[in-house]
Structure formats: C-alpha cells, structure tokens
Chains A and B, each alone.
Chain A
Amino acid sequence: MSLNKLNQLYMAVVMDHASHPHHKLALPDATTSVELHNVSCGDDIRAFILMKDDKVQQVSFTGNGCTISQASASMMTDALAGLTKTEAVAGCEAFFQLVMGKQISTKAKAWLGDAEILGSVAEFPARIKCATLAWHAAQEALEGGN
C-alpha cells in the first residue's frame, strides 16, 4: 500500500495555495460575481470580477471546499487578473482542457501561471469538478454574471 501517486496531486504549491489562498475575500465593488455549487459535496465558490474598461482588474473568491478546489480558486485569482476579457475567458477554457489531460498553447500556459501544475488532476478524474468549480464561476462572471 502506498500513497506515492498522491504526491502528483498534492504538490507543495497546491498545498500552499490551499492553506494560504490568495484573494479570498468578497469584492464589494465587483462588476459581476457568480456562485456555483459542486452538487456532489455541497462545496460552493463565489468568484468576483472587477473590470476596468476591457481589463480584468481584480479577481477574488469566497467559499469552502477541498484542497483542490481552494488551491485552484486561489490560482485562478492570480491567473486571470490583468488579462483582457477575451483572454480571461480563453484562459478558463484552456484550464478546462488542461485538467482533462489535453495539450494547451504556450500562450495559455503563460496566462495560467501556477495553475498549470493542476494538469496533474487529469490523473484523478473524480476530482476534475473540484478543480474546475472556481474557473466555471469566473467564466460565468466574465460572460455576464449577475
């Protein structure tokens, strides 16, 4: 019996983000925010997006979840801030491709930053939903939200 494979999922960067998540706060002046639930476990994430002209100026999140969903949300807030709206939406798409084990472009990798290491989630298909929750919330917020 061994847990070696778990090291691919719970790497130091992931554990760092999960225990000290970046931008975990509500943005009262957000342009949009969207809350999504992981129906299987009841976890919830709300993503807040503050737009300035066509730029994503600030991204934050609130909510509870497992190590993977918290780390992924934290990485998402780092990744999307500073991108244009189109790039940010494309960045979310690239992340979905990545965690399903697909190749993504070098440009997309640059957008994703730390989040690129969550590509290892592809090895743990049961956890893809945990990893993508925050990114789905962000994408919906970027595309209109409420």
Chain B
Amino acid sequence: MPNKFKNLSHDFPILKRKINDEPLVYLDNAATSQTPNQVLNRIGDFYQHSNANVHRGVYTLANEATAAYEQVRNQVAAFINAPSAKSIVYTRSTTDSLNLIATSFGNLVVTQGDEILITIMEHHSNLIPWQQLAKRKHATLRYVELNADQTLDMADLKHKLTNKTKLVAITQTSNVLGVTNPIKEIAKLAHQHQAYIVVDAAQSVAHQKVDVQDLDADFLTFSGHKMLATTGIGVCYGKPELLAEMPPVQFGGEMIESVSRTNATWQAAPWKFEAGTPNIGGVIGLGAAIDYLSEIGMAEINAREQQLTAYLFPKLTAVNKLTIYGSKEASQHAGIISFNLGQLHPHDVATGLDMLGVEVRAGHHCAQPLMATLGVQATVRASLSFYNSVEDLDRFVQAIQMVKEFFAGESK
C-alpha cells in the first residue's frame, strides 16, 4: 500500500493509546472519526491568534475571523463541487441539516396527499424528520425495500416513485449495511417525476469523492465529526434556487437584514439559516479537515479503504457462525461491516472485544426499522478508516476468535 498511509499515528496520537492494556484498534469510524493534529492545531491557532465573532465588527480581528469563516465555505463548496459557496449552509450536524430541510423546505413543498419516499436503510436522522413532516401535512411516507442480497431494491424504488412523490430522501452509504446507493440514477428518476432528492452523505463524504452537480442532488448533508473535523459542525448543501425560496427556521442575530419594532427581513441564503453566533471554531476545523483529506486525495482514500475492506472481509466470512449483514461482496461494503456472532448478543461481543482493545459499536445503529427488517434486535459493527492498519484488522479478527472461544467455553 502507498506510503501516504504509513505512520499516520503521528497525526492521530489517540491511535497510540492503550485500551485495557492493549493497543487501541479503533473500528467505530462510522460513529465518529478521529481528529488529526492538523485540525486541532488549526483550531488552536485560530483561538490563539484570530478569535473574534464573525459578521459583526469592523475591527481587524473581526475581519480576519469573518474572512476565515467564509473562506471555509469556499473550500466546502469546492470539496463537493457545489456551484457556489452560497449553496453551503453551516449547521450543527447531518441531523440538524436534515431537520432544516424537512422543516423549511418540506413545509413549503409537501401538501396533503403527497408522498415522501425514503428507504428502509435510513438512519433515524433521515427518517423521523420525514415521518413527522408526513404527519404534519397528511402526506404518506413510503419505504423502498431491500433485495435478497440486502442492497437497495431499485425495482421497488421505480415502482414506488410516482408523480405523487414530492420528495425522495436517501442515504448515499448505509451506516449499517455499508452499501453505496446509485444516487445519480435515483436523482434522475426522481427528477423525471418532478420530485426533489435529499441525499444523506454522512457516511460517504469522507470516503469517496462526492460531487453534488454530477449527482444532481437537490440537497446533500453531512457532519464534520465523521470527516476528521470536530463535533458540532455540519453542512447542508442546497441548490441555490431552492435555498432562495426557503424560509429560515431560526431567528435572531446574524441572519437578519433589518429589524423594526414590528417586522424583520432576512439576509440571503446561506446566512438567513445561520442565526446567532455559529460554531466558528468548528468551521475552522472543517477547513483543516478538508485540507487534510484533499492532500491525501479522496480517490486514494477510497482505494485504501477498499483494500482494507477486501483484506478483512474474507477473514470475517471464514469465522464459523459469523453472520455478515448486507452484500456478500466486500466491494459493496465501503469499510462498514455489521455482523453477529452465533447467538451471542452484540453487547457481550463488544465487551469482549473491548477487553482486547478493539472498539466497535454494538446496538441498533439508529436504524431500528432496518434492524426489524433484518430480523435482529442489534448487531456488532466494525467500520474502518484509511488510518487503520492491516495489523489493526489482524488484531480484530484474532480478538473475535478469542471472544467466540471464551463464550463457547462459558456456555458449556
């Protein structure tokens, strides 16, 4: 594998720590990524040298802070090939972005009798805002189901996408199944039916090149903390003509144009959606994270993660009684592998792995309808990142064997 990926623990000191006296093997990257020194230092520098509130002062520091904050908007736009920086709204997270879209845009366009089409593999963040919107508007929420191989059933999607469909909301990469959906094709189909498409890119944007214009996404959302930046900063991309129509949902400072005793007018997008003092440090860190990812290159990152997944997958399938959810093809897993080990409860497995330094998620992954469809209460999930090593994966597989043997012995 290329040298770029050697010694990354210099950048991510946390990777050198021990967990329960064992070297840390961090395999919960789908929940949150680790943050490199380059991001932390950029934020530290900002607070040490350039901190001021944005869009408020006429003094030098305030100007510098505002310029830095707005410069990152350009960077984000370039990162996802948005047509302009004005199509980038800073939010708190993917969840916040999706709620903004469902509340502002959803209230605007969805009316009684309309249909909203989502998929059964959605994270609760891309499910409940639409469920609530459907309830508010007496619209119908419909779900695209899975194929036998637990990939998205495109025939079902084509069947359920009709002229009644006002909006399609879909994840680009599933946080449970790891599968990446054909967003470009789905966007085309949606647009043929005059429906809008909202893309949840929380699990894709740090792992592959995302190009909103190529996808023709109407909206696309993601979180900084899953792409090496810090928690509390997210992005909502919207086509400029759609953002222009949408009313703000939060009111206060920064977002207004002028205010009288009885009335107020708003700034243009994106600023009308950014009420109050924003997460300036988070934005600065997001810029540094984009620099970090771009320096390696999204194509290289994607190739590296594919290689790691291809290395791990057959080792897991070889474990007796280990059931993998999702496709049987490693290439369909984008670094995310959910599984169960025989009849063992995922919590028990995860505690065992934790004792061996391996940090994985066990639970429903905020996707309870998907769990019900898969016929399980919960799963264990390993999710990797380019900074994981082959040794990490070997330790993980060895740890699974040990946990399995431990419980086999106990239940005798």
Chains A and B form a bound pair: yes
Chain A residues engaging chain B, CB cutoff 8 angstroms = 1-3, 5-6, 9-10, 12, 15, 19, 40-43, 64-69, 124, 126-127, 130
| Known interface pairs A10-B410, A42-B378; 12 further A-B residue pairs with C-beta atoms within 8 A, sorted by A's residue number | A1-B22, A2-B356, A3-B356, A5-B355, A6-B351, A12-B410, A40-B363, A41-B362, A41-B377, A42-B364, A65-B347, A67-B347
A15 to B410, CA, bound (A): 7
A-B contact pairs, 30 of them (CB 8 A): A1-B22, A1-B398, A1-B399, A3-B355, A3-B402, A3-B403, A5-B20, A5-B355, A6-B355, A10-B348, A10-B406, A10-B407, A15-B410, A19-B411, A40-B364, A41-B364, A41-B377, A42-B371, A42-B377, A42-B378, A43-B377, A64-B377, A65-B347, A66-B348, A67-B345, A67-B348, A68-B347, A124-B351, A126-B351, A127-B351
Q: How far is the CB of B26 from chain A (nearest CB, A)?
A: 16
Query: Is B270 interfacial (CB-CB < 8 Å)?
Result: no
Which has the most chain A C-beta neighbours within 10 Å: B368, B377, B395, B399? B377
Which chain B residues in 338-374 approach chain A with CB under 8 Å? 345-348, 351-352, 354-357, 362-364, 368, 371
A4's nearest neighbour on chain B, judged by CB, is B355
Q: How far is the CB of A8 from chain B (nearest CB, A)?
A: 10
Partner of A6, one of B352, B363, B378: B352
Contact residues in B for A5 (Cβ distance below 8 Å): 20, 355
B20 touching A3, Cβ below 8 Å: no
In the A-B complex, the 6 residue pairs with the smallest Cβ-Cβ separation, listed nearest first, are A66-B345, A66-B347, A42-B364, A41-B363, A41-B378, A3-B406
Contact residues in A for B357 (Cβ distance below 8 Å): 1
A12 to B406, CA, bound (A): 12
B348 touching A43, Cβ below 8 Å: no
A64's nearest neighbour on chain B, judged by CB, is B377
Q: How far is the CB of B105 from chain A (nearest CB, A)?
A: 29
B406 touching A42, Cβ below 8 Å: no
A43's nearest neighbour on chain B, judged by CB, is B377
Contact residues in A for B402 (Cβ distance below 8 Å): 1, 3
B354 touching A126, Cβ below 8 Å: yes
Chain B residues engaging chain A, CB cutoff 8 angstroms = 20, 22, 345-348, 351-352, 354-357, 362-364, 368, 371, 377-378, 395, 398-399, 402-403, 406-407, 410-411
B347 touching A127, Cβ below 8 Å: yes
A3 to B345, CA, bound (A): 17
B356 touching A1, Cβ below 8 Å: yes
Contact residues in A for B351 (Cβ distance below 8 Å): 6, 9, 124, 126-127
Q: How far is the CB of A5 from chain B (nearest CB, A)?
A: 5
Contact residues in B for A19 (Cβ distance below 8 Å): 411
A10's nearest neighbour on chain B, judged by CB, is B410
B347 touching A6, Cβ below 8 Å: no
A85 to B98, CA, bound (A): 47
Contact residues in B for A2 (Cβ distance below 8 Å): 356
Q: How far is the CB of A2 from chain B (nearest CB, A)?
A: 8
Contact residues in A for B410 (Cβ distance below 8 Å): 10, 12, 15
Q: How far is the CB of B328 from chain A (nearest CB, A)?
A: 25
Contact residues in A for B364 (Cβ distance below 8 Å): 40-42
A68 touching B378, Cβ below 8 Å: no
A3 to B353, CA, bound (A): 9
Which has the most chain A C-beta neighbours within 10 Å: B22, B351, B378? B351
Q: How far is the CB of B344 from chain A (nearest CB, A)?
A: 8
Q: How far is the CB of A130 from chain B (nearest CB, A)?
A: 6
Contact residues in A for B356 (Cβ distance below 8 Å): 1-3
